[in-house]
Structure 1
Amino acid sequence: MTQKTDFYNNNPLIHKDRRLGQSPSAWVRSFSCEDLCPLIVCRGPIRKEAMDVYTEMGITHFGILLSEKDSIVYPNALSPELRQLTDTRRVHRVPDYSGASKEERLERIQQIIDIALDNGYNAVFSGYGFMAEDDEFVAALENAGLLFIGPCSRTQQAAGKKDEAKRTALQVNVSVTPGIDNVTARTLLKKHKTFDQLVALAKAEDLKIDKKVLNNKKIPLEDLADMILFASYDKGIDLFSIEELCVQIEQECAEMFRNYPGARIRLKAIGGGGGKGQRILGASLLTSKNPSDKQIHEAAADAPGLVREILNEVKTNGIGDNKNILIELNIEQTRHNEIQLLGNGQWSIALGGRDCSLQMHEQKLLETSVTQEGLQREIEKAKQAKLKEQQQALEADLEVLKRMEAESERFGEAVGLDSASTFECIVDGNRHYFMEVNTRIQVEHRVTELVYSLKFVNPEDENDFFIVESLVEAMALLAQHKQRLPRPVRIPRFGAGAEARLNATDCSLSPSAGGYIHYWSKPIEGEIRDDQGICTLNPDTNHFMNYHLAGAYDSNIALLLTKGEDRESSYHKLSEVLRSTVLRGSNLATNLEFHYGLVNWFIGNNIMAKPTTRFVVPYLTLVGKLKEEAQKIEIVYAFMVMKKNYAKLYAGNPEAANAVSETLDRKGTLLTRPIEILLNDPHLLSGWLSLNRTKFKFENNRIVWICNPLIILEETYEYLHMTWRDQAPSTEIIWTHDRDLLNDALAFYAELQEKFAISKKDYIQLNDILLNDTPQGGYDADTWAKIQEAHVGYEIGNELLGLLCMIAEKTNFYDFKVEENLEVTIPEYLHDAELQAAMKKVLVPPPATKADEVVTPGGGMYYAQEAPGLPPFVTEGMHFDKGQPLFILEVMKMFNKVPAPFAGTIDKIIIEGGDGTIVKKGQPLFKVTPDEKFVEIDPKKLAIQRQTITKEYLKAIL
């Protein structure tokens, strides 16, 4: 725990590390957790973090649970966890953390309890995955006399189940999303319509329900139906079929489409999390303000299939499972904000917010802190800069944040929150709606830890207190001491925090499991890297160990965090971290470049922008268009054409022509190397174009540089992490002769800028001066002529940078922008589903295949049918249409229907093994006969096309 002021450091009563038992204060010592003996039942960075925090707290007896599917158990994987726990008796192994079915899950719960009791553990910590939000698991632990380091089972039931949480929210005046939270009760009422029929059902099934309830005809029928359903779950029976549930949900969706024309509907499992168990339907109605009954029924007809997917994904399709699904209005242009909560069962405290809007498929990608102090600072900046619309937008955000924090504390107290949880909301302009509560610590919890610490004060002595800066530690304290802990005071730490999730995904953000990491550069100063110790060198050999990204659970590799005095400085630091990170491996794909381009998009536009949850997919589509256009340009060919153009220009002056040719030859690699890298990586190009959006303009279809292109070139080398570094491979940095040439040019212009008192950003004014035939600045004629000659030499060839700007112009890149009120304008065409699918293939072309085969687009687990008991998607001899689902690929616990890339007929199913078979990217699954023959493009014709288009581009810059 780091102390921040001299008062802290000079006060002997203040606890200065995590070992509360060693404090000079008796009151502080009373909160020691050294008797806590936790079994850590989670994976990834949070497991390593918990081990480190517990060690620092003086907790000496803890153990870890490992699944045989966990990456760290694979051969050649260095595991700091296993090195840290040299006592192998504290490492316990299971086939899978939570089991693949209800039966396996119950078996695993008992197994975990037995492991804890047999090995001297008195508590269980399950982090942010698997059973962290399982009220049955928590109740079983409590019944076995074990502490759960997290919210108790009562809170889990009241807040963790989305339907119960929504009802509680309504009771304590929390704004909720319009929708239906009891569709299972309504399904039951379709079969048993009256009070007497429901009571008869309860008696016939011998359900355990209080007789007073069954005799009270004043109870609303839907409430009684709910009580009967909960009793049926306890008994392990079903009172209706999945088909009947699907029919009811389809009818409810149709009614919602009528009530909210032009909107989509979100279906959400009550026990889902991390994006699992959620589907959206009604895309066809988005643009229809007055849909017909036929359109409504067609849209609602998709619901049954989505319901089955949801139940299958969250594994609640078994007999006796609670199959309730929330049916909610999908607020389209929304931001996803969440409030970090902490409570002890009596008090509840909000610790600011996090903006998690930048996500895809409900999976968060980039998260930033949102605090009252931070927003107030930004409001003052906007006021001083006279940015009225930005100021008003930030003031609105501040008011929304205050309301969300107040509501979250009311909710926490209503459900008896006694640990860490997250109150999640969607924000729509000046309004917000409660969405759900995650009754666990979040992946992004460190973002909050960077902006707030907790001060626990002795009620009898305000000078006697201790500081907690870790939510993992706070959870342990609450588990051990609960209601003895006084309500803390939140203390601002750093001004802002940001986190990028480094995931095993390809350039289109599709999961890419199964690769190996062979090398990872060391963290730079100011970088906070939660990576489970993957980048740790083997202490015996000092070599990096291969790390297998098995991908059985999720795609996360690491959490990269930065802090700053404000969001802008935290983003700049995050950009530096991403730029400096080097990852190498085999069959390895990550979203590192995506993050780097995205962070710099915001730096180049406005870091206080308000992106919605619909930002990432159209942004990726635009990046796909950048790649599609960039692939048309051949940079080396462009350079040669430019040389020929200058040769023609100086044809009448052989001496000048030779000089120009020699100059261009010297500048060849200086110019073409960084441009080629940008052309080959659209994510890097997106960031570069964003950072340089104000440094050029178009006049009469030609590029005019506002900033000296040589300065832009210098910044480009820095942006690409290609500046000179000792002992760095020459392939990764600027070459020596190019560095010397660039430095000479920059020194030349720096001297002139100082001479004429011109900013380096004002290139137009300097260029106008240098074009003047009359000597300027007191220079004599000879010196002035040499200056002009040097200027021509240094600037010649820099036109090639304009090719990148032309790509922005061709793709309308800058139409995707941040307005003065901080809203993000996304061109409507980027929401087109067909374009999105096409650009996804541009970003990541499908694996090479034969014309008569269908292969897997990535690695994962293969399923031939939508759910157990249902027919397979395809059979031998069956004809399929383009876009028709062929199979399901489960990757990182997410179920993805894979559509047919073309129409054809299944000749033979060649995959060996049934459902659950592991497949690799590009593995053939079916032999097929396509409806149409594929025509391969002649490489020579393609090269000619690229050269022709390159010449067209050059017309605007030469």
Structure 2
Amino acid sequence: MSNDYYLNNPLVHKDRRLAKSNNEWAQSFECSDMRPLIICRGPIRKEAMDVFEEMGIEHYGILLSEKDSIVYQNALAPELRQLTDPQRVHRVPDYTGADKEERNVRIQQIISIAKENGYNSIFTGYGFMAEDETMVAAMEDAGLNFIGPCSKTVHDAGLKDEAKRTALKVGVSVTPGIDNATAITLVKKHSDEKALLALAKKEHLVLDQALFDDAESLVEKADVVLTAGHKKGIDLYTIEELQETIREQVIVMSHNYPENRIRLKCIGGGGGKGQRILPNPNTLEGEVESQIAQVAAQAPSLVLEILNEVKATGLGDNKNILIELNIETTRHQEIQVIGNGQWSLALGGRDCSLQMHEQKLLEVSVTTEELETALTEAVKAGRDVEAKVLKQDLKTLHAMEKESETFGEAVGLDSVSTFECIVDRDKHFFMEMNTRIQVEHRVTELCYALRFVNPEDETDFFIVESLVEAMVLLAAHGPRLPKPERIKRNNASVEARLNATNQALAPHAGGIIEHWSDAREGEIRDDQGISLHNPDTDVFMKYHLAGAYDSNIALLLTVGKDRLGSYQGLAEVLRKTELTGKDLSTNLEFHYGLVNWFLGNNINARPTTRFIVPYLTAVGLLKQKANNLDLNFAYEQVCNKAMAAVKDEDAKSALLDVLTRKQLLLVRPLENLLAEPHVLAGWLSLNQKYFELNAKGEIIWVENPVKVLSEAYHFLNMNFNADNPAASMIWDHDHEVLSQALNFYAELENILEISNYAELCKALVKKKSPVDTIESAQWLAIQSAHLGYQAGNEILSLLPFIGIQTQFFDLKVNEDLSVHIPESLFDKELQVQMAKVLVPPPTAKSDEILAPTGGMFYSCEAPGMPPLVKEGAHFEAGQPLYIIEVMKMFNKVKAPFSGTVDKVLVEDDGAIISKGQVLFKITPDEKAVVESPDVISARIEAQTAEFLDSIILSASLTAK
């Protein structure tokens, strides 16, 4: 339906809001008496504020933490430009607390703030304590209306072990694995029912006796005892005992699934936190038993990392960790599901496979309408293999949607949640349900709206387009809401997460955004108000990316009639976005390159979760090759080769003049592409159809290089605009030359009735015009103009030369839509090496180790444990030296070489460190060999000279 329909139909509330509806039944679901306290941050906080106001909810407040406050050194928090009443802005030290005890203090503090300030409901969005059963239960007990799934649903669906057991009971397929490691650990210590009961008596535990008696196995009975222990706040096993159990179970699973890696996942993790993947045994040395033992030996350390990351090391914390099969060819898909406790409804899917370190980067809608459109086009075009894949995807989508509704009803889902699956070819497995609205929820709501119909009168209805609004409606009127029907808004949508990361996608904290261009037509930008200007001066207000929380800056979304349209829209948004600042590093260029990679290969490609790191490695290889080429020297060589092909001195002089005047026209866009490897990757992907190799291995353009050059300026957002700074666009005299060339070829193609560039070149080397309307003198002038417009264009071949030399084009989409990734791109050493090419580490003296980024320093794996390295200790290359927490993720930093620690320069764990800070004074085992400038220069000159052998001059030029 069109927007006009929503605006003009009297039965549909305008602006998607019930408060403006004209019918009595719809108005009975009005929510203006809700007074919510928003205790989340980021884009969802600003979105909630906007939705609440449009719903007529005037009394709401927001919670800021002290960590939030350091973000706004130069300006107010963006939300405070909208919420100007200081009585509705509340502050706490942080949102969750460092451990269980502090978390409980924070919960009570939030309840007090709500009670003292007249709030009757709580909105947690998609972060912090949105899935914390303890917190939700505390809010409910305090009489506050929790806008989200109730505590029972959070328990039954949110705890990953409980969710898997429920899924099995209702016939939902699950990932193979072990979901009761803590119960197994307890049974190892207390090996029969009598021993478990004795333990419960000794610790004065309050058992659910009926549940204990009904449990069919000893391990299930142990689970009941563990639950009682959690409620009392005591541990019935040690972390060391749990680590040993998991080590043993990894051995068992590795024997059962020798070809797969194993994933360890905390039951309370989320958003990429609390997960680690063990290496594949066959990548290690030795016989099979030895390989498996080496893998299992890594598990205890990773268990500790996981528990630390999700802050589950305290007494009474549920420390259960799932041991799951890691499906190697997996695609990560999820179904948006909504319910009121009685009914559940699926709202289509999202493909979230494009991720790194479990952090999603690009999220794409998966809808029945879009798949049917793609299937129809594939059948029509005769792409039978692709059509078969799309048909299976449609079948899988419907199966996942049905299972999500079944599971939602089984756990009494009474709000919005996400049913997450992994898809492996024609199979799919349920992973977990996230009992909260997710970051990527807009991908779904841009495709589907909800139509609620009066059961007594089918002409009486209202439509909801916002999932946040749906959550409020369910919190206020859940049992009364009839099961809605989903109605289509758009066939496809896509979301790019704009993050504060460097070119290797590692978090980059501390930058300041000083300018951000306004959102363009077709761009949906959720940025918590960062890009809003000062309402009085219309000046952009600086924003500090402090890094206390996650690295997300904004969510950029577009829609389309199909996936191609949504990708093209996103590419255009990214092309025009200007984002600059001090010490600012984002993944904007990465997204621009990635989206264009799909546009240049196949937007229906089915990448797996393993795609991004090899892709980054391929981009690193492009950068490495570009670093070893001298662009100006290459252009000089092209000119020399062109001059040598011309014998007439007057012609040679004229050609030299043309080549000199065209140098900056040709070199400037190439300089920009060589400087930005992600942008170069996108350009190569889009333009690979415009060139080919002949039998000699020489690069031949099948499209007119003049058009390629013009499109390169457009691709780089360097189009001519008299109002723009000269540095950011094509220069006016170059623009004039390029425009003349484009007009010349457009007119010539029209006169000769030749659009194919190769055919045009063949015609232009003939002595006589192929059409009688062009006389000999005019034909010579046309040939001369063609020679001038093509002169020097061979330098453009430097770009495909880099792609060919690095085998970038071997990373491609297969006929069955799977992605072919060259085996070399999975090499761990190469991946690490190329990450350093993309982001060279800070320059250090030979006796220093520097911080690669800002963050929080930890010397050991957990409080009370010995440091990873001590002063005087020897370390080997690859050995962990310390842990750095950057934007909520914990990263072990490994030694780049072997040596001895002379002095540790960071005294306290939890200390804030900055990029380039000296952390250790060391004595390396071997002195580093540094290349001399002469050696570097000789290498660059030699590799640049190699480029000459890969190109041929234009047909008209060689004919001269």
2:100 matched to 1:105?
Answer: no
2:446 matched to 1:450?
Answer: yes
2:955 matched to 1:950?
Answer: no
For 1:596 and 1:7, locate their aligned partners in 2 and report how far apart those are by CA, in whole Å: 34
2:565 matched to 1:559?
Answer: no
2:160 matched to 1:157?
Answer: no
Q: Cα distance 1:218–1:878, how it changes in 2: closer, same or farther (>3 A)? A: closer
Equivalence map 1:120-131=2 (5 Å): 120-131=118-129
2:872 matched to 1:874?
Answer: no
- The corresponding residue for 2:426 is 430
For 1:362 and 1:423, locate their aligned partners in 2 and report how far apart those are by CA, in whole Å: 16
How far is the alpha carbon of 1:642 from its aligned partner?
2.2
- The corresponding residue for 1:255 is 252
C-alpha offsets along residues 221-269 of structure 1, whole Å, 9 cap, x if unaligned? 0110000000001111111111110110000000100000121000000
For 1:263 and 1:281, locate their aligned partners in 2 and report how far apart those are by CA, in whole Å: 10
Whether contact under 8 Å (1:71, 1:547) holds in the other structure is no
How far is the alpha carbon of 1:541 from its aligned partner?
2.3
- The corresponding residue for 1:740 is 736
Whether contact under 8 Å (2:596, 2:682) holds in the other structure is yes
For 2:450 and 2:211, locate their aligned partners in 1 and report how far apart those are by CA, in whole Å: 45
How far is the alpha carbon of 1:775 from its aligned partner?
2.1
RMSD over equivalenced CA pairs, Å: 1.4
Q: TM (normalized to structure 1)?
A: 0.98
- The corresponding residue for 2:94 is 96
- The corresponding residue for 1:787 is 782
- The corresponding residue for 1:227 is 224
Equivalence map 1:562-601=2 (5 Å): 562-601=558-597
- The corresponding residue for 2:812 is 817
- The corresponding residue for 1:796 is 791
**Greater alpha carbon shift after TM alignment, 267-276 vs 737-746:** 737-746
For 2:536 and 2:770, locate their aligned partners in 1 and report how far apart those are by CA, in whole Å: 67
Secondary structure at the residue paired with 2:688? Answer: coil
- The corresponding residue for 1:74 is 72
- The corresponding residue for 2:763 is 769
Q: Cα distance 1:218–1:311, how it changes in 2: closer, same or farther (>3 A)? A: closer
Equivalence map 1:429-578=2 (5 Å): 429-578=425-574
Match of 1:281 among 274, 278, 283: 278
Equivalence map 1:900-915=2 (5 Å): 900-911=895-906, 913-915=907-909
For 2:459 and 2:765, locate their aligned partners in 1 and report how far apart those are by CA, in whole Å: 71
Q: Residue type matched to 1:547 in 2?
A: Y
2:264 matched to 1:267?
Answer: yes
How far is the alpha carbon of 1:948 from its aligned partner?
2.1
Flag structure 1 segments of 5+ consecutive residues without an equivalent. none
Q: Cα distance 1:218–1:50, how it changes in 2: closer, same or farther (>3 A)? A: closer
- The corresponding residue for 2:958 is none
Whether contact under 8 Å (2:71, 2:546) holds in the other structure is no
- Between the aligned residues of both structures, percent identity stands at 60
How far is the alpha carbon of 1:285 from its aligned partner?
2.7
C-alpha offsets along residues 479-503 of structure 1, whole Å, 9 cap, x if unaligned? 0001101111100001211100000
C-alpha offsets along residues 696-753 of structure 1, whole Å, 9 cap, x if unaligned? 1111121111111111111111100011123111111001111111111111111121
Whether contact under 8 Å (1:71, 1:550) holds in the other structure is no
**Greater alpha carbon shift after TM alignment, 142-151 vs 70-79:** 70-79
- The corresponding residue for 2:241 is 244
Whether contact under 8 Å (2:211, 2:224) holds in the other structure is no
Q: Residue type matched to 1:544 in 2?
A: F
Equivalence map 1:33-44=2 (5 Å): 33-44=31-42
Whether contact under 8 Å (1:350, 1:409) holds in the other structure is yes
2:894 matched to 1:896?
Answer: no
Q: Residue type matched to 2:786 in 1?
A: H
2:300 matched to 1:304?
Answer: yes
C-alpha offsets along residues 633-673 of structure 1, whole Å, 9 cap, x if unaligned? 111111122222333333x4210111100111121111000
How far is the alpha carbon of 1:9 from its aligned partner?
5.0
Whether contact under 8 Å (2:852, 2:916) holds in the other structure is yes
C-alpha offsets along residues 500-537 of structure 1, whole Å, 9 cap, x if unaligned? 00000000000000110111111111111111111111
Whether contact under 8 Å (1:70, 1:552) holds in the other structure is yes
2:852 matched to 1:857?
Answer: yes
Q: Residue type matched to 1:758 in 2?
A: I
How far is the alpha carbon of 1:5 from its aligned partner?
6.7
Secondary structure at the residue paired with 2:885? Answer: strand
- The corresponding residue for 1:49 is 47
Whether contact under 8 Å (2:335, 2:404) holds in the other structure is yes
Q: Residue type matched to 1:313 in 2?
A: E
Q: Cα distance 1:803–1:206, how it changes in 2: closer, same or farther (>3 A)? A: same
Q: Residue type matched to 1:46 in 2?
A: I
**Greater alpha carbon shift after TM alignment, 931-940 vs 656-665:** 931-940
Match of 1:617 among 596, 613, 630: 613
- The corresponding residue for 2:178 is 180
How far is the alpha carbon of 1:205 from its aligned partner?
1.2
- The corresponding residue for 2:342 is 346
For 1:487 and 1:217, locate their aligned partners in 2 and report how far apart those are by CA, in whole Å: 35
Q: Residue type matched to 1:267 in 2?
A: L
Q: TM (normalized to structure 2)?
A: 0.97
For 2:901 and 2:776, locate their aligned partners in 1 and report how far apart those are by CA, in whole Å: 81
How far is the alpha carbon of 1:955 from its aligned partner?
2.1
Q: Cα distance 1:49–1:498, how it changes in 2: closer, same or farther (>3 A)? A: same
**Greater alpha carbon shift after TM alignment, 37-46 vs 777-786:** 777-786
How far is the alpha carbon of 1:291 from its aligned partner?
5.7
Secondary structure at the residue paired with 1:692? Answer: helix
How far is the alpha carbon of 1:415 from its aligned partner?
0.4
For 2:537 and 2:623, locate their aligned partners in 1 and report how far apart those are by CA, in whole Å: 42
For 2:564 and 2:721, locate their aligned partners in 1 and report how far apart those are by CA, in whole Å: 26
Whether contact under 8 Å (1:269, 1:277) holds in the other structure is yes
For 1:314 and 1:771, locate their aligned partners in 2 and report how far apart those are by CA, in whole Å: 71
How far is the alpha carbon of 1:199 from its aligned partner?
1.3
- The corresponding residue for 1:16 is 14
Secondary structure at the residue paired with 1:498? Answer: strand
For 1:19 and 1:937, locate their aligned partners in 2 and report how far apart those are by CA, in whole Å: 66
Whether contact under 8 Å (2:7, 2:15) holds in the other structure is no
Whether contact under 8 Å (1:697, 1:705) holds in the other structure is yes
Secondary structure at the residue paired with 1:319? Answer: coil
Secondary structure at the residue paired with 1:272? Answer: strand
- The corresponding residue for 1:403 is 399
Q: Residue type matched to 1:806 in 2?
A: F
Match of 1:420 among 404, 416, 420: 416
Secondary structure at the residue paired with 1:869? Answer: coil
**Greater alpha carbon shift after TM alignment, 325-334 vs 8-17:** 8-17
For 1:217 and 1:316, locate their aligned partners in 2 and report how far apart those are by CA, in whole Å: 29
C-alpha offsets along residues 754-786 of structure 1, whole Å, 9 cap, x if unaligned? 123233xx2111111111223211222211111
Q: Residue type matched to 1:716 in 2?
A: A
Q: Cα distance 1:695–1:19, how it changes in 2: closer, same or farther (>3 A)? A: closer
Secondary structure at the residue paired with 1:454? Answer: strand
- The corresponding residue for 1:806 is 801
For 1:137 and 1:77, locate their aligned partners in 2 and report how far apart those are by CA, in whole Å: 32
How far is the alpha carbon of 1:6 from its aligned partner?
6.3
Question: What is the aligned residue count?
Answer: 950
How far is the alpha carbon of 1:218 from its aligned partner?
6.9
- The corresponding residue for 2:753 is 757
For 2:390 and 2:2, locate their aligned partners in 1 and report how far apart those are by CA, in whole Å: 29
Whether contact under 8 Å (1:71, 1:77) holds in the other structure is no
**Greater alpha carbon shift after TM alignment, 459-468 vs 749-758:** 749-758
Q: Residue type matched to 1:880 in 2?
A: F
Secondary structure at the residue paired with 2:14? Answer: coil
